[in-house]
Amino acid sequence: MLIRLGYDIQFDVPAPLAFVAQLRVHSSRAADLREPDAVHIEHSSGAIASHEYSDSYGNICTRFLAPQGHLRLSNSTLIEDSGLPDPVAWGAREIPPQELPDDVLCFLLNSRYCEVDQLSAIAVELFGDIAPGWGRVQAICDWVQTKVTFNYGMTRPTKTALDVFTERVGVCRDFQHLAVTFCRCLNIPARYVAGYLGDIGVPLRLPMDFSAWFEVYLDHKWWAFDARNNMPRVGRVLMATGRDAADVAFLTSFGSSTLTNFFVVSEVEPAPTT
């Protein structure tokens, strides 16, 4: 299966402004790309210089300085995908903390949006009696999806996992933050993921946006889970991973600007006609 990926994001920039974008497909999927994947930067004043680097989580970041004026970030690329739903491994086991690789340990700790210390007692009460392994992570997803209501208008940049548990409403990032935190409370390494997830094989939901899910470390491997959709899906394309949403923002600006256009696409590429 070939999937067309792309975006067109535009801003009015009132004064010179530094940006860091995480809009590239993750390096782990680079071999699947069938067209170049690049962040195209256009500005009303002309060409803008940029450079790329890899952050501490292996995400590809694009750094640039935009002058005052109109800024456009865009891309269109093609990626090959198996067309299979997310793998499920009910026998996958939890790894004790003392056996975890050094670079996985940070995904057991508190982070900006995931208050492990404040939710640990609740997590143990809710899920402590469930057998360790895949089934316990799935039980966390089931609980979050059942207890939290999705509502675009009921989130905010400062909303944490504890807020989501208390308020029981939010968007996809809020669902994932709560599930990630519950996993960490039970010594299951969990990391937040940003990427493309088109409505492939499911009813179409508009408008399209970048998506969030999370991954857990079981049997010495990272596995995809999704507390918002809570079902295996086709066509996930990883862009960035981190401790929580603060690490994987698709665009970070060191100052203010005004968003004027936001378009994202992730859909099956039609087969060529003969």
**Domain of residue 74, CATH code:** 2.60.40.2250
Let me know whether 130 and 239 are in one domain.
yes
Question: 218 lies in which domain range?
Answer: 97-247
CATH number, residue 129? 3.10.620.30
d(C-alpha 123, C-alpha 145), whole Å: 15
| Pair (105, 211) in one structural domain | yes
Other beta carbons less than 10 A from residue 91's beta carbon: 9
In-domain check, residue 87:
no
Is residue 217 one of the residues assigned to a domain? yes
- Asked if residue 212 is part of any domain, the answer here is yes
Query: Tell me: the pLDDT tens digits for 3-39?
Result: 999 999 999 999 999 999 999 999 999 999 999 999 9
Q: Would 264 be classed as within a structural domain?
A: yes
Q: Is residue 45 part of a domain?
A: yes
Residues 107 and 159 in one domain: yes
Tell me the DSSP string of 252-270: EESS--EEEEEEEEEEEPP
Q: Whole-prediction pTM value?
A: 0.94
Q: What is the pLDDT of residue 273?
A: 67
How many structural domains are present in the chain? 2
